[in-house]
């Protein structure tokens, strides 16, 4: 059972109209989660992991400690970009594809292929 619900990005393409304050708050939080270089590398490590998921135990090549990895993965989950599932000792993370597609659409104005 996934612990986080899928978060569907709220907003129209940025080229359509000025976002409302509420839309901008929500969307900016997702961009903020990806605005730290280490967090972005960890996100790409999860997104590109075999089977589309990874635990802290799988990620050792980004040059930061396991507690730091855990911290960043939690932040990404709080922003709705990752879902998590506990199995035994480890929490496994996977990317929310609908969220990425929604953020992509926001930027390009196009439906994802």
The Cα–Cα gap between 43 and 72 comes to 9
Instruction: From 84, 99, 109, select the one nearest 34 (Cα to Cα).
Output: 99
Binding of its own copies by 3 (CB under 8 A): no
The Cα–Cα gap between 84 and 3 comes to 6
Binding of its own copies by 101 (CB under 8 A): yes
* Phi and psi angles of residue 59, each rounded to the nearest 5 degrees, phi first: -110, 105
Q: Which stretch binds its own copies (CB under 8 A): 66-74, 83-91, 100-108?
A: 100-108
- Tell me, residue by residue from 39 to 78, as one string, x for binding to its own copies by CB under 8 A and - for no binding: xxx-xxx-xx------------xxx---------------
We find the least distance from the C-beta atom of residue 2 to its own copies, in angstroms, to be 18
Binding of its own copies by 8 (CB under 8 A): no
């Amino acid at each position: 059972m996934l612990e986080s619900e899928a978060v569907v990005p709220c907003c129209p393409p940025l080229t359509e109209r000025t976002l409302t304050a509420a839309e901008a708050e929500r969307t900016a939080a997702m961009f903020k989660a990806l605005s730290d270089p280490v967090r972005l590398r960890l996100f790409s490590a999860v997104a590109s992991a075999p089977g589309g998921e990874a635990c802290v135990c799988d990620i050792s090549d980004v040059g930061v400690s396991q507690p730091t990895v855990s911290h960043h993965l939690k932040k990404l989950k709080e922003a709705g970009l990752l879902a998590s599932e506990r199995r035994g000792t480890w929490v496994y993370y996977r990317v929310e594809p609908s969220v990425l597609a929604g953020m992509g659409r926001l930027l390009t104005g196009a439906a994802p292929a």
